[in-house]
Structure 1
C-alpha cells in the first residue's frame, strides 16, 4: 500500500504518541530508581532501561525529522506529568517495590503493543525507512518485560526476606 495522506497522519501521530509514551516511561522510572536501596539488580536494570529509553526517544525524533515533523511538547508534558504522579502514588505503599514491578510489567506490554502497531502502520504505509528503528525499540521493550517477568519471583522473595528480618523492604 502507498504512503497516503491518511496513513501518513496515523503514522506521524503514532510516532508522536510513542515519543510521549517514552517520556512518560522516564518520568516513571527515574523516581523509582532514585528511591531503590535494597534491590540493586532492579536498580541496575532500571538504569540500563532509562538509557535505552533515551535512545528510543532519539530514534523516534530522527524518524519524525525524516518526515519533516517534530514530537508534541504538549503530549510529552501531559504524559510526563501522569507518569510522575503514578510513580509518586506507589511511594506510600508498604510494598512499593512490588507495586512498581507490577506497574512496570504492565507498562512494558503497553509499549510493546504500541511498537507492534507502529510497525504495522510502517509496513502498510510504505515507511520502510522506519522499520529498523522501531524494531530496535520493540526489542528493548520486549527484553525489559522479559527481565521483569524473570525477576519478579526474586524481587518478591527479597521483599519477604527483608520484611521477615524487620528491615526496610519498601525499596
Structure 2
C-alpha cells in the first residue's frame, strides 16, 4: 500500500513539472502581448512567482530526500512551449491564451489543495505551509485573470488586435 508520504513525493514531482510547464507557457505568451500592457505585466510578474514556486516545490522534495522527475519535468516543459506556440497562428491568440491561462490557474489551485491535504496526512506541516503560500499566489493570479478578462475581451473586440 502506498503511504501518504510516497504520494506526496510523487505529486510534488507532478507539481514541479506543472510549474515548469506554466513558466514556459506564461513567458512565451507574455513576450507576444505588446498591445495588452496590463496583461503582459501581470503575466511577467507571475512568471517570476512561478519560477519561485518551482524552486519551493523542489526544496520540499529535497526535505523529503527526493528529487524532481526528469521525465515529468521534460514533458511539462515541452507541453508548456507547445501550448504557448499553438496560439501564434490564431488571430484571437490573446483571448484564447487568457481563457486557457485562467483555466490553468484553477488547475494549479486544485492541485495545491490536494498537495496540502496530502502533506498534512503525511505529517509534513512545514511542507503544507509552503504549499499554502504557493496556493495564495495561485488564487491571486486566478482572481486577477477573472477580474481582468472582460477588459481584455473588450479591447480585443474593439480593435481586433491579435497581440
Pick the TM interval, shorter chain.
over 0.9
- Runs in 1 of length 4+ with deviation above 6 angstroms? none
Residue 131 of structure 1, CA deviation: 1.7
The normalised TM-score by structure 2 is 0.97
Per-residue displacement from partner, 1:19-53 (whole Å, max 9, x unpaired)?
00000001111110111110000010001000000
Residue 83 of structure 1, CA deviation: 1.4
* Structure (1 or 2) with the larger CA radius of gyration: 1
User: What value does the CA root-mean-square deviation take over the aligned residues?
Assistant: 1.2
Per-residue displacement from partner, 1:58-86 (whole Å, max 9, x unpaired)?
11111111111111121111111011111
1:23 is paired with a residue of what secondary structure? Answer: helix
Unaligned stretches of 5+ residues in structure 1: 164-168
Q: How many residues align?
A: 163
Q: Does 1:53 find its partner at 2:53?
A: no
Unaligned stretches of 5+ residues in structure 2: none
Match of 1:162 among 149, 159, 162: 159
The normalised TM-score by structure 1 is 0.92
